[in-house]
């Protein structure tokens, strides 16, 4: 038997079915099947997501094993996302992982999706030093996490309503852009100026609130299009730049507050929204001003992916943290 630790990791918390193989913490493969079925509905439809995971999971796992050049008999453990996420989606990955671990008689490792987004920073160099602060921004979450060690994290603040990615997507929907709208807003904003000011929510502590932004945009567009029906088409680039600037300013203001309060200068960004070009640039500019060391993982490890689940699982494997066949998925929560 080989001494190396080879982990198959499965991620199925939302609308991407992903499988990865890691050997001793090194990613050998990371394969993802995106689901197109949701596009026409302007958001993820849970029942469709669950059915698509069922159709995708076996081909994606086979592809990940093939690309890694690894056979099932070489695996040391199977890891899966236990939560948070959509229940129907989580159940597919969870059941598959349990069945595979049982049939191969190898350990099972459950992983928290939000902790995995943070631990994606350990896939490649440069890696942040402990303690660090991570701003995780995705379609489902907006969190500021204090990371003392790979197994010791604390949520310092989070959104009280919509996530940052959701704010991009909902604003984009009002502007007639497709789903998910984040990337389209990013593209349009590059040709525009942030000349429309939207009010920023005043939220206590290190928390966020983005639902007021959506309402402010809705009322603003209603008022403008009443007298000028082509207002959106004529001002799309400036509208996108204004929405993006408002979201990025809120995120960075709170992140700076977290860094100053804790005195920590190792600062990291994670989640799908960290693909946003303005957020990346302004995060690095702010880092230079504040004397931070800043970290952003490669794009493929920022969006939902199984490699980050495998990374988190590898740390758990080294600590001997395994779970039983009775580990049920959970829809919410940072720690199981």
Q: Does 83 help bind ligand KG4 (rule: CB under 6 A)?
A: no
Q: Which of residues 14-33 bind ligand KG4 (CB under 6 A)?
A: 14
User: Furthest-apart CA pair in the chain: how many Å?
Assistant: 74
Q: Which stretch binds ligand KG4 (CB under 6 A): 69-77, 272-280, 281-289, 320-328?
A: 272-280
Q: Which does 310 bind (CB under 5 to 8 A by kind): Zn ion, ligand KG4, none?
A: none
Which region, judged by CB under 6 A, interacts with ligand KG4, from 75-83, 137-145, 221-229, 250-258?
137-145
Give the DSSP per-residue string, 44-77.
Answer: --HHHHHHHHHHHHHHHHHHHHHHHT--GGG-SE
Enumerate residues 153-192 that contact ligand KG4 by CB under 6 A.
165, 168-169, 180-183, 186
∠ CA 298-63-116 to the nearest 5 degrees? 40
Report phi then psi at 184, rounded to 5.
Answer: -70, -40
Q: Does 140 bind ligand KG4 (CB under 6 A)?
A: yes
Q: Which does 139 bind (CB under 5 to 8 A by kind): ligand KG4, Zn ion, none?
A: ligand KG4
Which of 93, 192, 272, 329 touches ligand KG4 by CB under 6 A? 272
Q: Which long-range contacts (CB under 8 A, 24 or more apart) does 35-38 make?
A: 38/179
Whether the ω angle into residue 125 lies within 30 degrees of 0, i.e. cis, is no
88 vs 107: CA distance, rounded Å: 24
Q: Indicate the residue among 122 and 196 with the shorter CB distance to Zn ion.
A: 122
- Partner residues linked to 78 by β-bridges: 8, 108
Give me the residues that bind Zn ion (CB under 5 A), please. Answer: 138, 304
Angstrom distance (rounded) from CA 237 to CA 241: 6
Q: How far is the CB of 171 from ligand KG4 (least distance, A)?
A: 10
Strands 6-11 vs 16-23: parallel, antiparallel or unpaired = antiparallel
Q: By CB under 6 A, which span of 133-141, 195-203, 221-229, 255-263 interacts with ligand KG4?
A: 133-141
User: Please, what is the minimum distance in Å from the beta carbon of residue 42 to ligand KG4?
Assistant: 12
Residues forming the site for ligand KG4 (CB under 6 A): 14, 138-140, 165, 168-169, 180-183, 186, 271-273, 275-276, 303-304
């Amino acid at each position: 038997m080989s001494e190396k630790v080879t982990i198959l990791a499965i991620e199925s918390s939302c609308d991407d079915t992903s499988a990865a193989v890691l050997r001793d913490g090194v990613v050998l493969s990371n394969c993802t099947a995106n689901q197109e079925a949701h596009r026409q509905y302007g958001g993820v439809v849970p029942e469709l997501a669950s059915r698509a995971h069922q159709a995708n999971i076996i081909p994606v796992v086979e592809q990940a094993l093939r690309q890694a050049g690894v056979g099932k008999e070489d695996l040391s453990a199977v890891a899966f996302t236990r939560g948070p996420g959509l229940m129907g989606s989580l159940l597919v990955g969870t059941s598959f992982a349990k069945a595979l671990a049982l049939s191969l008689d190898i350990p099972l490792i459950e992983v928290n999706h939000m902790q995995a987004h943070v631990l994606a920073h350990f896939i490649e160099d440069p890696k942040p030093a402990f303690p660090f602060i991570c701003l995780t921004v995705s379609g489902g979450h907006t969190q500021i996490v204090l990371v003392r060690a790979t197994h010791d994290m604390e949520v310092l603040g989070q959104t009280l309503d919509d996530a940052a990615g959701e704010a991009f997507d909902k604003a984009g929907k009002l502007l007639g852009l497709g789903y998910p709208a984040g990337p389209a807003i990013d593209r349009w904003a590059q040709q525009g100026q942030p000349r429309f000011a939207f009010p920023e929510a005043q939220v206590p502590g290190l928390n966020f609130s983005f639902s007021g932004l959506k309402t402010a945009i809705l009322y603003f567009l209603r008022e403008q299009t009443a007298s000028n029906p082509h207002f959106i088409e004529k001002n799309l680039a400036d509208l996108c730049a204004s929405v993006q600037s408002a979201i990025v300013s809120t995120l960075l203001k709170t992140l700076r507050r977290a860094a100053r309060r804790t005195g920590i200068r190792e600062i990291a960004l994670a989640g799908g929204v960290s693909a946003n070009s303005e957020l990346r640039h302004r995060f690095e500019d702010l880092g230079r001003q504040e004397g931070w060391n800043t970290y952003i993982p490669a794009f493929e490890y920022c969006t939902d992916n199984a490699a980050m689940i495998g990374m988190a699982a590898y740390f758990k494997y080294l600590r001997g943290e395994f779970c039983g066949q009775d580990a049920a998925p959970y829809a919410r929560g940072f720690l199981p």
